[in-house]
Chains A and B, each alone.
Chain A
Amino acid sequence: KAGVTQTPRYLIKTRGQQVTLSCSPISGHRSVSWYQQTPGQGLQFLFEYFSETQRNKGNFPGRFSGRQFSNSRSEMNVSTLELGDSALYLCASSRVGGVVEAFFGQGTRLTVV
Chain B
Amino acid sequence: AQSVTQLDSQVPVFEEAPVELRCNYSSSVSVYLFWYVQYPNQGLQLLLKYLSGSTLVKGINGFEAEFNKSQTSFHLRKPSVHISDTAEYFCAPPMDSNYQLIWGAGTKLIIKP
Q: Is the CB of B101 within 8 A of A102?
A: yes
In the assembled complex, which residues on chain B have CB atoms less than 8 Å from the CB atom of A92?
44, 101
Q: Is the CB of B99 within 8 A of A106?
A: no
Q: Is the CB of A107 within 8 A of B95?
A: no
Q: Is the CB of A58 within 8 A of B43?
A: no
0/1 string, B59-98, CB within 8 A of A gives 1: 0000000000000000000000000000000100011001
CA distance A83 to B36 in the complex (A): 29
Q: Is the CB of A107 within 8 A of B42?
A: yes
A24 sits at the interface (CB 8 A): no
In the assembled complex, which residues on chain A have CB atoms less than 8 Å from the CB atom of B32?
99
User: What is the total number of residues of chain A having a CB less than 8 Å from a CB of chain B?
Assistant: 26
Contact among B90, B99, B105 with A55 in the assembled complex (CB-CB below 8 Å): B99
The interface of chain B, by Cβ under 8 A from chain A, is 32, 34, 36, 41-46, 49, 51, 90, 94-95, 98-101, 103, 105-106
Q: Which 8 A-B pairs have the closest CB atoms?
A: A104-B43, A48-B99, A45-B100, A104-B44, A43-B103, A56-B99, A106-B43, A99-B32
The interface of chain A, by Cβ under 8 A from chain B, is 4, 6, 31, 33, 35, 42-43, 45, 48, 50, 55-56, 58, 90, 92, 94, 99-107, 109
